[in-house]
Copies of this chain bind each other. A is one copy, B any other.
Amino acid sequence: MLTSAPFELRGRRTLLLAGDAFSTTEAKTAACYLMYRTRDVVCVLDAKHANQTCDKVVGYGGRVPVVGTIDDALRLHPQQAIVGTAPMGGALEEGLRGQIAACLVAGVDVVSGLHTFVADDGELTAMAEKSGAQIWDVRRVSQNAHVSTGVGCTTGAKTVAVVGTDCNVGKMTVAVELAGAFSARGVRAVWAATGQTGIMLRGRGVCVDRVISDFIGGATEELVNVEGAGSDIVFVEGQGSITHPGYAGVTLGILYGAMPDCMVLAHVAGRAHYKRLDLVIPPVTDIVRLHEQLMAPHKPSRVVALAVNTSALADAPARREVDRLQEQTGLPTTDVIRFGCAAIYDAIAAATIGNR
């Protein structure tokens, strides 16, 4: 059910379409792409933040400009445009559709992670055919589906599920950084992308929340086996949260498809309520226990580390919050971006590849 990029995204002049939401989690795809591919990005389109630089708006991305109109953006000669917003439900609203149309007319390739497929819009595909532009709907899944049986990865690679206390806590970032940290020590480590932004960065994956629900586990199982081929360890990007009223089904389906050897729990420092909902997130220790209980019938898989996103805090309070959560849970804890992966490396290695 995997999708793969029809062209190599890396190294191409990139326009990020951020709606009018660049500074919010609505535009997390734009923000993540900017973080990991800064040098590729020629500009971000967002009328609300126009005429500023990215570092002023989101705190990184240096002097990459934010522009206010699609014409200004196209004047910078992008080769590809990435739809950088992830609205709940994923519809294609009119303003964004106009920007996509302008890109396709100008021969700029379009990469989209919306539920509504760009390539299903006859007018837009006609524009693309005329100009030669390509469209990649990263949520598109093929139909060769199966129901998972709980075997997980059978290539010999170990699997680590990056789970979370909510949506938008940074699960993908944790998977990327951990794969990088293990690779740096000579381990054949990869990460498996299960969401739109991850698929764009990894160049392949499966948008699990787009799969017909009977096949969530099967799609994940296929994914970890593809990524596990030739690897020692696969870090699986989780989605949602195990007690999230809207997304928990997807969360649990991924967990059972991946059948991880251990888990890493991602959390945002200070977030008390689920994103967009007036509902309290359970204590971290309860969430740890729930994951372990759900895995217990299948495998003695434990949450072996916490990855805390402290991006909203200054250095000193960030350090205090990491230490406090480590104390409270008894688990090795870090912020993988701010403090690196060293503090949790050994715990993950011990639960997977052993000492090597």
Where the two chains meet, the residues of A that have a C-beta atom closer than 8 Å to any C-beta of B are: 88-90, 115, 145-150, 208-214, 216-218, 242-254, 256, 259, 277, 279-282, 286, 289-290, 293-294, 296-298
CB of B249 within 8 A of CB of A249, answer yes
* Shortest Cβ distance from residue A290 to the other chain B in the assembled complex, whole angstroms: 6
Nearest B residue (CB) for A277: B149
Bound complex: CA A298 to CA B280 (Å): 9
Bound complex: CA A303 to CA B242 (Å): 19
Nearest B residue (CB) for A90: B214
Known: A253-B249, A277-B149. A297 touches B211 (CB 8 A): no
Contact of A245 among B150, B243, B279 (CB under 8 A): B150
Contact of A213 among B208, B290, B297 (CB under 8 A): B208
Sample of 23 A–B contacts (CB below 8 Å): A89-B145, A150-B245, A210-B214, A213-B216, A213-B249, A214-B246, A214-B247, A216-B249, A216-B250, A217-B245, A217-B248, A242-B294, A243-B294, A243-B297, A246-B256, A248-B252, A248-B253, A248-B256, A249-B251, A249-B254, A249-B256, A286-B293, A289-B293
Among A247, A277, A282: residue with most chain B CB under 10 A: A247
Known: A212-B213, A214-B115. A245 touches B277 (CB 8 A): no
What residues of B have a CB within 8 angstroms of the CB of A282 in the complex?
Answer: 296-297
What residues of B have a CB within 8 angstroms of the CB of A88 in the complex?
Answer: 147
Known: A259-B245, A282-B297, A293-B293. A150 touches B216 (CB 8 A): no
CB of A149 within 8 A of CB of B214, answer no
Bound complex: CA A94 to CA B90 (Å): 37
Copies held by the complex: 2
* Shortest Cβ distance from residue A143 to the other chain B in the assembled complex, whole angstroms: 9
Known: A245-B148, A252-B252, A282-B296. A212 touches B214 (CB 8 A): no
Bound complex: CA A208 to CA B214 (Å): 9
CB of B209 within 8 A of CB of A146, answer no
* Shortest Cβ distance from residue A271 to the other chain B in the assembled complex, whole angstroms: 14
Bound complex: CA A254 to CA B213 (Å): 11
Contact of A246 among B149, B248, B250 (CB under 8 A): B149
* Shortest Cβ distance from residue A149 to the other chain B in the assembled complex, whole angstroms: 6
* Shortest Cβ distance from residue A245 to the other chain B in the assembled complex, whole angstroms: 3
CB of B293 within 8 A of CB of A148, answer no
Contact of A209 among B89, B148, B213, B279 (CB under 8 A): B213
- Other CB < 8 Å A-B pairs besides A212-B213, A279-B297, 9 of them? A115-B212, A150-B246, A212-B212, A213-B249, A245-B259, A249-B251, A249-B252, A279-B298, A286-B297
* Shortest Cβ distance from residue A206 to the other chain B in the assembled complex, whole angstroms: 11
* Shortest Cβ distance from residue A129 to the other chain B in the assembled complex, whole angstroms: 25
